[in-house]
Amino acid sequence: MKVYIGSDHAGYELKEHIKQHFSNGYEWVDMGTNASTSVDYPDFAHPVAQAVAEKADNIGILICGTGNGMAMTANKHQGIRAALCWSKEIAALARQHNNANILVLPARFISPETAFEMIETFFSTPFEGGRHLNRINKINL
């Protein structure tokens, strides 16, 4: 599976842990940042969101300090459903009920182990469809 990933400075270290931990299972397309030097999160959220929006089965991960800035920015893109998650249960529901295509992680509030669990859950949980599809179709104006 190809995964588009991006972070700002606050998420850089977690991003690198994720890529290393999952190095054998996924093809990573790292959209930056490449250091812990202060940067602007939209500069990395937009390219990930654009890449994920290009194809229905593309998936992404965005990471910043709280996750809020990345989620707000990514969700400006048509077809993106970026979900800010802090537990594997929320990650599962984001996929099952919202068909989220970008997992957003709050690096300052979760451990790498929690991030790994959420990623495994997010990637392995299917969208339930049914009544949830009608709701998703109402998201875009």
Residue 141 has pLDDT above 80, yes or no: no
Structural domains of the chain in order of their starting residue, each with its CATH number: 2-137 (3.40.1400.10)
- Summary mean pLDDT of the chain: 96
Residue 37 has pLDDT above 90, yes or no: yes
On the 0-12 / 13-18 / 19+ scale of CB atoms within 10 A, 55 is exposed
The residues annotated as belonging to the active site are 64, 97
As a whole number, mean pLDDT of residues 73-96 equals 98
pLDDT above 90 coverage of the chain, percent: 92
pLDDT score for 139 = 87
As a whole number, mean pLDDT of residues 58-87 equals 97
As a whole number, mean pLDDT of residues 56-80 equals 97
CB 61 within 8 A of CB 103: yes
